[in-house]
Structure 1
Amino acid sequence: MVIWGDDSTGKDPALIDEVDAWWQKWHAAGKVVRGGAKLDSPHVARTVSRGADGQPVVTDGPYLELKEIIGGYIHLEADDFDEAVAVAATWPAIAAGYTVEVRPIVG
């Protein structure tokens, strides 16, 4: 079960169900890895957010506002960085206004 803070979006049962399904899909595909690792520099990051048309938009660099915090991270196994960005673009919470930052792992 995914639980966000006190905002009303995080309490949306339909969104929580979508996120749970996302975890199940990518875990079954062998893309989600349990555990954590050191993240690479923010300078090589890409940010995936909702565009004006509601579709995911990929931007070079970490463009999260200072008021935003990282609530957690997902360690993905991908064939390359572009595949990791493509998987991140399917995160259901992007449509609700959440942002995903994608970084390679060092080492």
Structure 2
Amino acid sequence: MRYVMIITGDESHWFGAAAASGLLDEVNAWWQKWHDAGKVVRGGAELQPSSTAKTVGPGVDGQPTVTDGPFLELKEVVGGFIHLDADDIDDAVAVAATWPGIIAAGDRIEVRPIVE
């Protein structure tokens, strides 16, 4: 089955700090390990900082309106996602639980099945 790992956390721990702390090397090793094991499929994407985002939502006139940045002021934001191929949700969670940023940066990982 296919799953997605949604990586959330405090983005102040990601940009610049990750490279300086060695976390980037750990993340690269994580990708290689799980790619070689056939668990990471179809890649994923690291997202730019939330300050670069635009949010589209309903306007007062019923038409879409665009605002800068994320809709809510949150400390935790989505930083990226990874597609997994796993036997079941427990297998996907076991892979997600090895994400280096959980301990090093306080990241949280949401694992969800993909609609086929």
TM-score class normalised by the smaller sequence: 0.5 to 0.7
| Counterpart Cα distance in 2 of 1:82 and 1:66 | 29
State the aligned residue count.
74
Q: More strand per residue: 1 or 2?
A: 2
1:69 is displaced (CA, Å) by 1.5
Point out which structure has higher relative CO (alpha carbons under 8 A, 6+ apart).
2
Q: Which has the larger radius of gyration?
A: 2
> What's the % identity of the aligned pairs?
69
Query: Relative to structure 1, is the Cα distance of residues 35 and 93 closer, same or farther in structure 2, using a 3 angstrom cutoff?
Result: closer
1:11 is displaced (CA, Å) by 3.4
Equivalent of residue 71 in structure 1, options 76, 79, 83: 79
Q: After TM superposition, which residue ranges in structure 1, 4 or more long, deviate above 3 angstroms?
A: none
Q: TM-score, structure 2 length as denominator?
A: 0.56
Any idea what the Cα deviations from partners look like across 1:50-92, whole Å, max 9, x if unmatched?
xxxxxxxxxxxxxxx9432111100000000000000000001
* Cα-Cα RMSD: 2.0
Amino acid at match of 2:115: V
Amino acid at match of 2:109: V
Query: Relative to structure 1, is the Cα distance of residues 79 and 22 closer, same or farther in structure 2, using a 3 angstrom cutoff?
Result: same
